[in-house]
Structure formats: C-alpha cells, structure tokens
Amino acid sequence: MDDFVFYNPTKILFGRGTENRVGAEARNYGTKVLIHYGGNFIQGSAFYARIRESLESAGLESIELAGVLPNPRLSLVREGIKLCREKGIGLVLAIGGGSTIDSAKAIGIGVPYDGDVWDFFTGTAVATGSLPVGVILTIPATGSEASNGSVITNEQGWLKRAAMADAIYPRFSILNPELAFSLPPYQVACGIADICSHLLERYFTNSVGVNLTDQLIEGALRAVIRAAPTVLSHPTDYDSWAEIMWSGTIAHNGLLNTGRVGDWASHDIEHELSGIYDVAHGAGMAVVFPAWMKYVKNHDILRFAQLASRVWGIEQSLRDPEHDALEGIARFEAFWSSLGLSTRLPGIGIEAERIDEMAAKCTRNGTSKIGNFVALSKGDVVAILRLAC
Amino acid sequence: MDDFVFYNPTKILFGRGTENRVGAEARNYGTKVLIHYGGNFIQGSAFYARIRESLESAGLESIELAGVLPNPRLSLVREGIKLCREKGIGLVLAIGGGSTIDSAKAIGIGVPYDGDVWDFFTGTAVATGSLPVGVILTIPATGSEASNGSVITNEQGWLKRAAMADAIYPRFSILNPELAFSLPPYQVACGIADICSHLLERYFTNSVGVNLTDQLIEGALRAVIRAAPTVLSHPTDYDSWAEIMWSGTIAHNGLLNTGRVGDWASHDIEHELSGIYDVAHGAGMAVVFPAWMKYVKNHDILRFAQLASRVWGIEQSLRDPEHDALEGIARFEAFWSSLGLSTRLPGIGIEAERIDEMAAKCTRNGTSKIGNFVALSKGDVVAILRLAC
C-alpha cells in the first residue's frame, strides 16, 4: 500500500427535502449568497423556489449568476469573481451538476487570489484559500460535490485544465436523490458511465497491497451496475437513485484511491474528445474506456481477470485469464450499451479523421506520455482511438 | 436508504515514518503539546524518541500525561483537563490505541467547558467545542482515530459511557502500520475482532435500499479476514498490516453506516462484560457476537444468508437460508478461534453466575431495551449470554 494523506472536510446532507436546509447551512458564511447555475429552466422549478425560500428565511440576500455551460468557461468564472468582490459575497452556492460545481469552485479560489485565477489551472499557483462554496447537486455523475478538483475550459485555445487543492473542497453539499428524478435518460446514462469511469480509473493501478480498496471499488461498481437499469426504467425509484447518487460521491471523494495510484489516461483522452466535439464527458468515457482496456489489458491481465470475476461474476479460468479479461470488458460495453450509450466514436458523432489531432493534443504534440498504469505515447493514443472506431 | 448527514474532517497521514511529521501538524495548534499515553514502555521506545524529536524540531514544548488504562478512567481525564488549563496547552496528542485516544478526546472537550466533563457522557450536555486533539495510532482496533466518539469509565459506580459530537473528531491522525509490528498476538487478535464487530454492527440493519453500503461492509470484512492470518504469522508484513489498520479506520469513520441504522446491542452487552471483568473489548466481542447472531438470526434470515454467501463464499441454498446463515456464523466463530480468541464466556474467564447482573445493568434493570435491528429485553440478553457459555 502506498503512503497517503486523506482529508475530506465536506459536510454531506443527504436525503429527501434536504434542499430546504440550505439556509441554515449558508448562514454560517456571511449574509450574501451568489447562486450559480446553468440553464434558466432551474429558475422556474419548484425546488429552486424552495431553495430561495430557505435562504430568505435565514435572512440571506441572494444574487444570481446563471449561464454555466457544459465544459464550464473561464470567462464566466472571471465574471463571478468580479461579482463576488463587488457585492461582498460570503458563499458561492452551486445548483447543478459537475460543470456548475466546478465553475463555483473556480470562482471560490479566485476571489481571495491577487493574480489571475487561470494560474491555478496552468499549475503556476496552488490555491491555499477560497471563498466558501456550497452545493445543491442535481446530476449524479462527476463527484465534484465532494472532491478537491475543478476542471475549467479556457476559450482562448479551448484548453481544458484541472486545478486540485484542499482549499477547493465544498464546505457542504446537499444531495437529494429526488432532484434527479426528472433528468433526461441520456444524461442519466452519461452520469452512470462517468461514475463507473471514476471507479475504473482508480481500479487500474500498479500499487501492490491494495486488496481493501480493490474490494471497495468492486463493491461500488456492483452497486452502480445493479441500480442503473432501475433509475432508467423507474425514474422515481428513490432508493435506486440514492444508490447511484451516493456511489457517485464515494467514487470520487478520495477514499477509494487511498494507498494506490490510479491511471487517468482515459480521462486525458476523453478531455480532448469533449474539448473539440463538445460531447458529454460520460458519453466520451463510455467510448474511450473499453478501447483503453482492450489496448492495455496485457500489462496486468490478472487484474482485468479479477475485475471480471468479482464485478461480473465470470467464473475464473486460471489457465486462460485473457478470456476472462475480454469477457469482463465485453460486459462493461454491453452494460453501457444497455443504458443507451454508444461505445464507438461514430456513435457519438466523432469521425476518424481528427484522431491524430486529438492524440497530439493530449500528449503535448507527442512530447509527453499520459497514464500511470501504462504510460501511453501519442502513437498509443492513436491506436486506442482507432480501436474505438 | 435513510436520510443522513456525513461529516468527517479528520486528516489522515498514513504510511511509513509518518510519525516524523507530527511536529509539522502540531504546530498549527499553538506552542504547547500535552502528550497523552498509557504504559511507560512507550517512553523507552524508538518511535517515541522520533516523535519527541519531531515536536522539538517544530519548536514545540511538550508536557507528558501517562497512565491511561484500558477502559480509560474519568479521574485521569479530569487531571488532564486541569493540566491543559494550567499550562496553556494547544494540542492534546494521543499516542496509543482506543483507550488513550478516547481519554485525549474527553480531555479535549472538557477544557473549554465550564461544567463537569462527565455531563457529555451522561447526555446532560453536548460538546460544541474542543481543544484540538491529534493522534498517533499504535493499535489498529477501535477506529477512534477518525470517529466522533469517546468512551470513558467513571470509577464512581464503574459506569462506562459514550459521548458523541462533531467536536470530538481528531484534527489529524497519524497511521504508520510499522508501529503495530511489535504488538502481542493476543492484542492483535482482539483488535481484529473489534474491527469485525464494528463492521457487523453496521451490517445488521432494518434500513432498506442499502446495497452500496452492504457491498462496502462486505468488502471490508473480506479484506480484514484475508489479511488477519498474515499479520499474526508474519508480524512485519507491512502491506497486510496496512490493510488491517486502514480497515479499522474505515470500519468506524461513519462512512459505512451512511443511510442505515446499525444494531449495537452486542456492544452494549460487551460493555457490561468488560466493565465487570476488565476483559479486552475485542475479546468480549468475539464471545458476544456469535451468540447474538444465533439468537436474532430469524429476524431477517436472508440478511444472514447474504452475509454468509458474500463474505464466506457459501453457496446460496435459496430453499434453506437458515442453513447458510448458521454456516456463516460458524465461519466467524472459526475465524476468531483461528486467531487465538475464545468464542465462549468461560474462555475469557467469565462464569455464568453473574449473567443476570450483567443483563440487568445493560437494560437499566430490565426497564429498557437495547439494539436497533432487534430490540432486546433483559430476558433476551440473559438468553444470549447463556448461548455464549
């Protein structure tokens, strides 16, 4: 087991009607709240009215900043930072999914910082403080509600970059599975693929002595796989949604990679897909991950065979672990397909002709490698994307 | 899934040599440290010298308070509170296992409180603040290093009572599995039984829609069961110790009972055993839990059968789940026996004659019931203790 530091101070309020408690939480952080969200449809919703009422009952003044887009943009982050400073905001409240939360986190770390907030995303600076951020989660997927990261896209060059720091953890996150009942099925499926991809990135490691976290990751995968069909067929099934929503948080709150180094090359590759084509991140992951698994499986075929056995119940054939490994990968593909996702690039509107460009972008023109489980060159990334065609 | 709040801000520093980082952590909390521990053997150890050196290098002054006993006593807690106030202590540093940590936590919440610290343990008051507490763990067992609870024994009447509050979480806990290498085998076995008991208490629930946490608990149990024989046969096997130590923390840091209500009657019963006989808590749990399981199994035989199947690999016989349940219980008994623990009262020096007294004590003379999965009367507790003979 690798040495590690684990620290996650985000307070989770989970359950029915928890959005009504936002005022009581928010009033710990001053008197003015910046409400940050994406589409205007939120404004007209019943739960938004409840949130506003809770904040007002707590004597808090609210200012709105809407317009967060998927792959949230740096320009809106800068606008939010300016607004917080001008208005003396005490808390940024994100209402939405990963994009809105990441945008709110970026605003949070930008406010007390003298330089340009993009410094945190280029690695020029590390955030040591933040205006407090709170979350009301509406889309289970990214795990950003309890993570120490934020991913922002700079429109100048369409660079998608991540910042990570303890200061980025939200102070509190409110998770009411009921808020996910009305999500469109395709968005639900993308969220589930995203959750699986967070678990799988952590699973593929060269660290040894990691049976406990192997077991926990496998257990979370089994729980997601079991609940997934139900949230699509019965979108008001509270318990199944609760399994998905809490799995999404646990998949990415840092616990499941304690003592191990995950891979993350598939995320790097997908970032270039969604950077150029603006596809949903989860949809991209459902395409990239099977191809990545097929390409790297021989690096540690027994780990793939273990996954197949423990998650999919495939009987271990000790003399032919490659058979088990391939069977396990096929089951993941079949699972994502069953949710209505494509596992091939053309299925998400991406043609082979820009493969070379994407592979170049994620390896800095072929000068660097990506991935920890297996270090991939530009040529490897091209091969993986071809496998995904 | 039940509604819940999850919050755990304890920072974990896990790995080889992490005790050398205690100075850097401690200096965030003033200039004076109260070092709190049990036996004087700690003073002469090499790791204690390293801890002192780390604190001194950080420019910190240390004051010692030794003498913590198993089932830590209120009188020493009161002494510690007085000492912290007189000396202007900024951090209580516990070096040891659950007893020392619980004693340090009680001192911590006592310092800023105007009344008597025992108020927190009788339920007369709830702790809202604490002098910061840090931990260097030497015995994986109780999970107190990342829990919000403390159990203290009041010598006036030998009352063993627990306090729980967010203020009780340690600020940081340092976990170096190497510090456990030299533990006596019996103490190791007791610690492992304690960890299993924390997982099992959480497992037995009437809450529905808890597949995710079922899976996580089962996975942690499998990890503990797999690593346990190795730490006894090869006490310097770092990775196996790391699995046990980190499992012990995760078993009790609150995550595995999110969305569910555990039972805890076995703990209540064992508290009376160790209160009267001063047996090790884990040794008591290895006796009480099998008897409790046999007594209550028909309340939800399918949950017992599921445990047997998923943790012990017992093939499910759907037409005869009681067979599977009993087989699973037998496997737990065999496991604890294989570690050198007894699973019967006489094996830990307890005779049948005081069963009635213990049953009376934990049910307030038969006027209240214990346990959430099954509510047990005094008569039930008597029956369970008889099964344990």
Q: In the prediction, which pLDDT does B192 show?
A: 98
CA distance A11 to chain B (A): 5
Show the 3-state SS of chain B.
CCCEEECCCCEEEECCCHHHHHHHHHHHHCCEEEEECCCHHHHHCHHHHHHHHHHHHCCCEEEEECCCCCCCEHHHHHHHHHHHHHHCCCEEEEEECHHHHHHHHHHHHHCCCCCCCCHHHHCCCCCCCCCCEEEEECCCCCCHHHCCEEEEEECCCCEEEEEECHHHCCCEEEECHHHHCCCCHHHHHHHHHHHHHHHHHHHCCCCCCCHHHHHHHHHHHHHHHHHHHHHHHCCCCHHHHHHHHHHHHHCCCCHHHCCCCCCCHHHHHHHHHHHHHCCCHHHHHHHHHHHHHHHHHHHCHHHHHHHHHHHHCCCCCCCCHHHHHHHHHHHHHHHHHHCCCCCCHHHHCCCHHHHHHHHHHHCCCCCCCECCCCCECHHHHHHHHHHCC
Confidence of residue A377 (pLDDT cuts 50, 70, 90): very high
Radius of gyration, alpha carbons of chain B? 21
Segment B132-159, tens digit of pLDDT: 999 999 999 999 999 999 999 999 988 8
Interchain proximity B219–A226, CB inside 8 Å: no
| Nearest C-alpha in A relative to B172 | A7
Residue B15 to residue A2, Cβ atoms within 8 A: yes
Residue of A nearest to B224 (CA): A212
pLDDT of residue A39: 84
pLDDT tens for each residue of A155-190 = 998 888 999 999 999 999 999 999 999 999 999 999
Give me the residue spans of the domains in chain B: 11-179, 185-387
Please name the residue of chain A whose CA is at the shortest distance from the CA of residue B246.
A212
ipTM beyond cut 0.85:
yes
As a whole number of Å, the CA-based R_g of chain A is 21
- Tell me the C-alpha distance between A209 and A223, whole Å: 24
Query: Given a cut of 80, is residue A151 above it in pLDDT?
Result: yes
Alpha-carbon distance of A309 to A317, in angstroms, equals 10
Shortest CA gap B365–chain A (Å)? 37
Whether B122 contacts B163, CB under 8 Å = no
The alpha carbon of residue B382 is apart from the nearest alpha carbon of chain A, in Å, by 37
Q: How far is CA A124 from CA A106, A118, B214, B237, in A?
A: 15, 9, 43, 41
Indicate the pLDDT class of residue B65, thresholds 50, 70 and 90.
very high
How many whole angstroms from its chain centre is CA B207? 23
Nearest residue to B339 (alpha-carbon basis) of B138, B175, B178, B195: B195
Cβ–Cβ below 8 Å for A16 and B3: yes
Residue B40 pLDDT exceeds 80: no
Average pLDDT taken over every residue of chain B? 96
The stretch A91-103 carries a mean pLDDT of: 97
Query: At residue A41, does pLDDT exceed 80?
Result: no
**Is B128 touching A (CB cutoff 8 A)?**
no
Contact state of A11 with B14 under an 8 Å Cβ cutoff: no
Residue B62: the pLDDT is 97
Q: Which residue shows structure tokens 């990214």?
A: A142
A178 has a chain B CB within 8 A of its CB = no
- Residue to mutate among B8, B212, B218, B306, with most A CBs inside 10 A, is B212
Interface test with B, best of A4, A5, A6 (most B CBs within 10 A): A6
Which of the four pLDDT bands, split at 50, 70 and 90, describes residue B274?
Answer: confident
Q: pLDDT > 70: what percent of chain B? A: 100
Question: What's the pLDDT at B39?
Answer: 84
Q: What percent of chain A has pLDDT over 90?
A: 92
* Residue of B11, B216, B238 lying closest to A219 (CB–CB): B216
CA-based nearest residue in chain B for residue A9: B9
Decide if B245 touches A, using CB distance below 8 A: no
Rounded CA-CA distance A324/A309 in Å is 7
pLDDT digits over A274-295, tens only? 878 879 999 999 999 999 999 9
From residue A129, alpha-carbon distances to A113, A121, A170, A325, B367 in Å are 8, 15, 12, 44, 53
Q: Do domains B11-179 and B185-387 have the same CATH topology?
A: no
Q: What is the per-residue pLDDT across A58-70, written as a single tens digit (0 to 9) for each?
A: 999 999 999 999 8
pLDDT of residue A159: 85
Closest Cα in chain B to A12: B6
Instruction: Looking at the complex, report in whole angstroms how far the Cα of residue A226 sits from the nearest Cα belonging to chain B.
Output: 9
Average pLDDT over residues A301-327: 95
Residues A231-252: tens digit of each pLDDT: 999 999 999 999 999 999 999 9
- Name the pLDDT band for B265 (thresholds 50, 70, 90): very high
Give the predicted TM-score (pTM) of the model.
Answer: 0.97
Contact predicate B245/B177, CB 8 Å = yes
What pLDDT, on the 0 to 100 scale, is given for residue B200? 98
Shortest CA gap A191–chain B (Å): 17
Q: Label residue A317 by pLDDT band (50, 70, 90).
A: confident
Condensed to tens digits (0 to 9), the pLDDT of residues B9-24 reads 999 999 999 999 999 9
Residue A138's pLDDT band, with cuts at 50, 70 and 90, is very high
What residues contact residue B196 under an 8 Å CB cut-off, 6+ apart? B221, B224, B225, B285, B289, B332, B336
CATH tag for B11-179 (out of 3.40.50.1970, 3.40.1440.10, 3.40.50.150, 3.40.50.170): 3.40.50.1970
- Give the one of B5, B14, B212 whose C-beta lies nearest to A6's C-beta: B14
> From B221, which residue of chain A is nearest by alpha-carbon distance?
A212
The structure tokens 């318990």 sit at: A239
A242 contacts in chain B (CB < 8 Å): 1, 209, 259
pLDDT band at residue A7 under the 50/70/90 scheme: very high
Please say whether the beta carbons of A107 and A68 come within 8 A.
no
In this structure, is the dihedral angle defined by the CA atoms of residues A249, A253, A258 and A262, taken in order, positive or negative? positive
Strands A11-14 and B4-6: antiparallel
Query: Which residue among A6, A15, A212 places its CB closest to the CB of B3?
Result: A15
Residue B11 to residue A1, Cβ atoms within 8 A: no
Residues 254-313 of A with CB under 8 A from B: 255, 258-259
Give the list of residues 6+ apart from residue A123 with CB closer than 8 angstroms, or none: none
Rounded to an integer, the average pLDDT of B103-132 is: 97
Class of domain A185-387: mainly alpha
B315 and A CB contact within 8 Å: no
Residue count of chain B:
389
- Enumerate the residues of chain A whose CB falls inside 8 A of the CB of residue B238: 1, 209
**Confidence (pLDDT) at B277:** 86
